[in-house]
């Protein structure tokens, strides 16, 4: 016997609504330095993007996700084609070529590529079943996952967009961790990644000339600013230094909406986009930032719960890929704002101002809701994970 779920997950919708409220207040306050004559300009546009995103999420939720299995590869190819289009004909902003101009709007294909990769890798891994593979049998599927992830990773990296490229890695890694790929293979994969990081650290410390040839100048400047923001406070470390000062001044309860000295004086660059967490920290304090992080925790926890209820592995992997997508972005954005990780220009999911990134996250949640709406609860059942 089973009972089919027909109601959309109310907790997940409540969490998205909570993030919307956070976003509108933070975007309004953080964008004041850019729109003094129209203080609500960015907040209104963010609300419109939220409205569009919510509609898209509901529409996708009504669509049977299992039908996407046959479209996973065509979507992947379309994403690669879009990245190629960006490479040759994309719009250049601030030294980066990431956007395609479509009349009145611009889209960022790298954002939508994240969704296409989740779908295709979910399809590939779901075909392997849920029984752990031997090391030998794990080799082909591991090479496929790495290969299909490496192509968009490289295209996005040369834009350059290190933040989105790292999200690609995070999504692939999160899916591999819960897949049927052998533990030994995963250990080798993790060792290889750790070894690569260690090698880069060695080059930075002892072979600096070679290290500077591997990374581009703007990437080097971000590393310098991250490792020693006080020494480079006038250039490379300026953003981080100002953001940390703002967050620190917020203390427990914050300085109040629109009262953040660092933010309102314009000392925190990109306060309504990349560094919006600094706005929340300075104006809402430790309580506000803790509440935001708790909402993210509940959102990720709820998606994981939905994955356990999914009918098939394809649905499970879609949910886990979404967890990787959101989790990596949250960690990286907050981490770069407080000096835990290098600055990569990655948006804070559902909070930062912007269209493509926000729509991408709504599409991902729409897929999760599609899985949830079609999950069946059995009286006698086995966990498929």
Taking only the tens place, the pLDDT of each residue in 301-330 is: 999 999 999 989 999 999 999 999 999 999
pLDDT in tens, 147-157: 999 999 999 98
Per the CB < 8 A criterion, the answer to whether 36 and 258 are in contact is no
**Peptide bond before 18: cis, by omega within 30 degrees of 0?**
no
What number of other Cβ atoms are within 10 A of residue 268's Cβ? 30
What token pair was written down for 295?
Answer: 């909402």
pTM attached to this predicted model: 0.91
Averaged pLDDT of the chain: 88
pLDDT one-digit tens code per residue, 245-304: 999 999 999 999 988 888 888 888 888 899 999 999 999 999 999 999 999 999 999 999
Helix count (H) and strand count (E) of the chain?
14, 5
Q: Could you tell me the two tokens for 196?
A: 């690569």
Return the bridge partners of 99, or none. 91
Phi, psi dihedrals of residue 129, rounded to the nearest 5°: 80, -175
What sign does the dihedral 234-235-239-240 (CA atoms) show? negative
DSSP-derived 3-state class of residue 1: coil
**Count of beta carbons in the 10 Å neighbourhood of residue 259:** 13
pLDDT tens-digit profile of 192-217? 889 988 988 888 788 878 877 777 77
The structure tokens listed for 319 are 């949910």
Residue with tokens 């719009």: 91
CA-CA distances (angstroms) from residue 133 to 121, 143, 148, 180, 235? 17, 14, 20, 6, 51
| Strand intervals (E) in the chain | 2-4, 91-93, 96-102, 105-107, 376-378
Angstrom CA distances, 78 to 33, 181, 241, stand at 38, 27, 40
Alpha-carbon dihedral angle through residues 169, 119, 47, 300, given to the nearest 10 degrees: -60
Which helix (H) or strand (E) is 115 found in, with range? helix 109-126
The DSSP H or E segment spanning 95 is none
Where does residue 256 fall: left (phi above 0), alpha (psi -120 to 50 degrees), or beta otherwise?
left
**The token pair that represents 246 in the structure block:** 């703002």
The two beta strands, 2-4 and 376-378, are antiparallel
Given a cut of 70, whether residue 189 has pLDDT beyond it is: yes
| More confident call, 318 vs 5 | 318
């Amino acid at each position: 016997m089973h009972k089919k779920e027909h109601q959309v997950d109310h907790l997940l919708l409540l969490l998205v609504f909570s993030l919307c409220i956070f976003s509108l207040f933070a975007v309004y306050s953080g964008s004041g330095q850019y729109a003094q004559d129209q203080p609500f300009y960015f907040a209104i546009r963010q609300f419109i993007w939220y409205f569009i995103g919510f509609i898209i999420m509901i529409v996708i939720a009504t669509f049977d996700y299992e039908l996407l299995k046959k479209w996973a590869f065509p979507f992947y190819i379309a994403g690669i084609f879009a990245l190629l289009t960006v490479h040759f004909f994309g719009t250049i902003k601030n030294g980066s070529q990431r956007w395609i101009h479509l009349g009145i709007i611009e889209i960022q294909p790298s954002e939508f590529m994240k969704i296409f990769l989740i779908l295709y890798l979910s399809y590939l891994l779901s075909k392997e079943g849920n029984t752990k593979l031997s090391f030998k049998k794990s080799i082909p599927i591991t090479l496929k996952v790495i290969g299909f992830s490496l192509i968009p990773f490289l295209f996005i990296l040369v834009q350059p967009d290190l933040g989105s490229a790292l999200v690609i890695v995070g999504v692939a890694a999160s899916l591999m961790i819960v897949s049927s790929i052998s533990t030994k293979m995963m250990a080798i994969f993790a060792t290889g990644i750790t070894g690569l990081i260690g090698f880069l650290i060695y080059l930075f410390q002892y072979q600096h000339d070679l290290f500077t040839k591997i990374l581009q100048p703007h990437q080097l400047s971000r590393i310098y600013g991250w490792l020693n923001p006080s020494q480079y406070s006038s250039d490379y470390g300026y953003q981080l230094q100002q953001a940390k000062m703002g967050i620190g001044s917020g203390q427990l309860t914050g300085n109040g909406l629109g009262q953040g000295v660092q933010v309102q004086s314009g000392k925190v660059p990109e306060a309504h986009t990349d560094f919006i967490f600094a706005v929340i920290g300075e104006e809402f304090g430790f309580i506000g930032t803790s509440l935001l992080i708790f909402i993210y925790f509940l959102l990720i926890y709820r998606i994981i719960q939905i994955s356990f209820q999914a009918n098939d592995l394809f649905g499970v992997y879609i949910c886990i890929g979404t967890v990787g997508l959101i989790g990596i972005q949250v960690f990286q954005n907050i981490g770069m704002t407080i000096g835990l990780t290098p600055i990569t220009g990655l948006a804070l999911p559902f909070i930062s101002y912007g269209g493509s990134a926000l729509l991408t996250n709504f599409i991902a949640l729409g897929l999760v809701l599609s899985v949830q709406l079609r999950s069946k609860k059995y009286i006698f059942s086995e966990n498929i994970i």
